[in-house]
């Protein structure tokens, strides 16, 4: 790992290089979209505003200061990156957010619904300068909010001191509300801008998504797994497309269906070929974008867990300190080591546990390479610790049971996979079929 102080100094040339692209790209995309909307007849430019906004949202002239400050933070967010890869990703995030927002502004031109009061002095001059480059168009999604999210994340990754982070969060909050209190945006622009920012962060993750890992994952699938993965991808894709279609047809509040639609399509992409990396879980931490974008899916999964685990113990000991259980058992401090097999859920293990994460997709039997990694992880964790080791997935019925069954066979604690499944089934109502995982366990070899 690079020294933190030197890594923060090294990429400044790269940051300036990318700023020479990101800055002009903003004015090119955003400015042209703004001029296009301004050139349209008034009857072709509407607005989306709730009836309560005019009376409920105050006009605060001073809030033009935090509103303008994002321009400085735009450039500094590139200078705060730790390496050239981060600089490139940050610049691409800023440019992609600007491009996607500008496309929305052209396709759905909107205007702010009323005029601002007259403002004098310094604040008045700042509003006048804003009006020179940003007429009251380019509304939803708020590019200000999209860029704020992207910039906020980069500053938060750089700053470590609690006071500095507190000041950052307060200032970014002021920037966020300033889009309303400067009477530059309507309320609907805020969540749509936040959603677009999340989408951009998902498409351009930090660390960058390794497409090579996706290719390796696809290559390791058996013919049976490929069929199963395609079936699951199709189901989630159909659900996502159906929800998106209803949102487009019904509109209004039905646009909320776009959220679960995006969640379903992300899961479909995982099964459709991207593999576990599509869920962006690194060392037990799921990316902010995935946590937000897949929240409806996570809610459904949580309700499912509550139903299926209502009469099931959190964990059972299978052999010699190796326990099989659900994600809820990982919070138990009795487990000194935890092997987490969930790709879709952030780390649940208590902070003191020796922790290892091997992200596996739900509902899909692990392949031979994944089983080999899982067995090796169990042996490694056993060697590092002397207490109980928990192997868990979401429910403790399939992924974790498969890895433990393979471990029993590979270490001679069971004669074959059928015997291993029978041994585990006496302790927990697992959902394993010997035929589905026999090939994978045999592929690992003794």
Average model confidence (pLDDT) across the chain: 91
Q: Which two tokens stand for residue 182?
A: 């400067």
Tokens 């860029």 belong to residue? 147
Based on the residue annotation, tell me whether 81 is a catalytic residue of this protein.
no
Contact indicator for 228, 366 with CB cutoff of 8 Å: no
Please provide the CATH number assigned to the domain covering 312-443. 3.90.190.10
Q: Which two tokens stand for residue 81?
A: 């990156």
Residue 402 pLDDT > 70: yes
Q: Which residues pair with 222 in a beta bridge?
A: none
pLDDT tens digits along 83-102? 999 999 999 999 999 999 99
Q: In angstroms, what CA-CA distances link 302 with 67, 216, 310, 342, 395? A: 39, 30, 12, 13, 10
Q: How far is 198 from 259, CA to CA, in rounded Å?
A: 12
Q: How far is 259 from 88, CA to CA, in rounded Å?
A: 28
pLDDT tens digits along 306-350? 999 998 999 999 998 999 999 999 999 999 999 999 999 999 999
Phi then psi for residue 413, to 5 deg, are -85, -10
The DSSP string of 362-400 is: TTS---HHHHHHHHHHHHHHHHH-SS-EEEE-SSSSSHH
Phi then psi for residue 354, to 5 deg, are -75, 120
Share of residues in the chain with pLDDT > 70 (%): 95
Q: Which two tokens stand for residue 287?
A: 């990316």
Contact indicator for 400, 261 with CB cutoff of 8 Å: no
pLDDT tens digits along 341-379? 999 999 999 999 999 999 999 999 898 899 999 999 999
Active site residue: 172, 201, 342, 393, which one? 393
- pLDDT on residue 345: 94
Domain boundaries, the chain: 12-203, 211-306, 312-443
- pLDDT on residue 10: 56
**Per-residue burial over 422-435, b = 16 or more CB atoms within 10 Å of its CB, e = otherwise:** ebbeebbebebeee
Q: Which two tokens stand for residue 50?
A: 């709730």
Torsion from C-alpha of 64, 70, 71, 74, nearest 10 degrees = 180
- pLDDT on residue 437: 64
Contact indicator for 110, 47 with CB cutoff of 8 Å: yes
Contact indicator for 406, 341 with CB cutoff of 8 Å: no
- pLDDT on residue 6: 40
Where would I find the H helices in 4-52?
4-9, 12-39
What's the average model confidence in pLDDT over 176-184? 95
Q: Which residues pair with 324 in a beta bridge?
A: 316, 391
How many residues does this entry show for the chain?
446
- pLDDT on residue 111: 86
């Amino acid at each position: 790992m690079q020294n933190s102080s030197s890594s923060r100094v090294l990429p400044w040339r790269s940051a300036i290089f990318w700023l020479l692209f990101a800055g002009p790209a903003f004015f090119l995309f955003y400015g042209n979209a703004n001029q296009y909307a301004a050139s349209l007849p008034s009857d072709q430019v509407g607005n989306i505003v709730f009836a309560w906004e005019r009376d409920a949202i105050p006009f605060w002239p001073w809030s033009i200061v935090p509103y303008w400050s994002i321009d400085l933070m735009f450039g500094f967010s590139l200078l705060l990156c730790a390496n050239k890869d981060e600089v490139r990703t940050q610049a691409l995030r800023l440019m992609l957010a600007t491009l996607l927002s500008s496309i929305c502004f052209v396709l759905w031109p909107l205007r702010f619904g009323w005029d601002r009061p007259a403002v004098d002095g310094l604040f008045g001059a700042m509003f006048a300068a804003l009006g020179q480059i940003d007429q009251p168009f380019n509304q939803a999604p708020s590019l200000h909010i999209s860029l704020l999210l992207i910039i906020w994340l980069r500053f938060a990754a750089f700053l470590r001191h609690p006071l500095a982070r507190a000041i950052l969060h307060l200032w970014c909050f002021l920037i966020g509300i300033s889009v309303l209190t400067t009477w530059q945006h309507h309320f609907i622009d805020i969540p749509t801008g936040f959603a677009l920012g999340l989408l951009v962060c998902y498409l351009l993750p930090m660390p960058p998504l390794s497409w090579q890992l996706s290719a390796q994952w696809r290559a390791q699938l058996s013919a049976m797994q490929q069929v199963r993965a395609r079936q699951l991808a199709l189901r989630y894709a159909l659900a996502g497309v159906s929800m998106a279609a209803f949102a487009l047809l019904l509109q209004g509040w039905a646009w909320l269906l776009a959220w679960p639609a995006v969640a379903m399509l992300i899961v479909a992409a995982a099964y459709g070929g991207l593999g576990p990396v599509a869920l962006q879980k690194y060392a037990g931490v799921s990316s902010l974008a995935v946590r937000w974008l897949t929240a409806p899916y996570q809610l459904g999964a949580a309700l499912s867990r509550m139903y299926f685990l209502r009469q099931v113990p959190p964990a059972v000991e299978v052999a010699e300190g190796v326990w099989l259980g659900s994600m809820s058992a990982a919070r138990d401090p009795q487990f000194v080591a935890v092997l987490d097999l969930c790709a879709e859920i952030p780390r649940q293990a208590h902070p003191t546990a020796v922790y290892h994460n091997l992200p596996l997709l739900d509902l899909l039997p692990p392949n031979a390479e994944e089983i080999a990694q899982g067995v090796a992880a169990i042996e490694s964790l056993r060697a590092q610790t002397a207490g109980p080791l928990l192997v868990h997935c979401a429910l403790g019925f399939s992924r974790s049971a498969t890895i433990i069954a393979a471990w029993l066979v590979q270490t001679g604690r069971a004669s074959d996979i059928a015997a291993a499944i029978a041994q585990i089934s006496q302790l927990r109502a697992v959902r394993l079929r010997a035929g589905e995982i026999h090939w994978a366990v045999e592929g690992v070899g003794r």
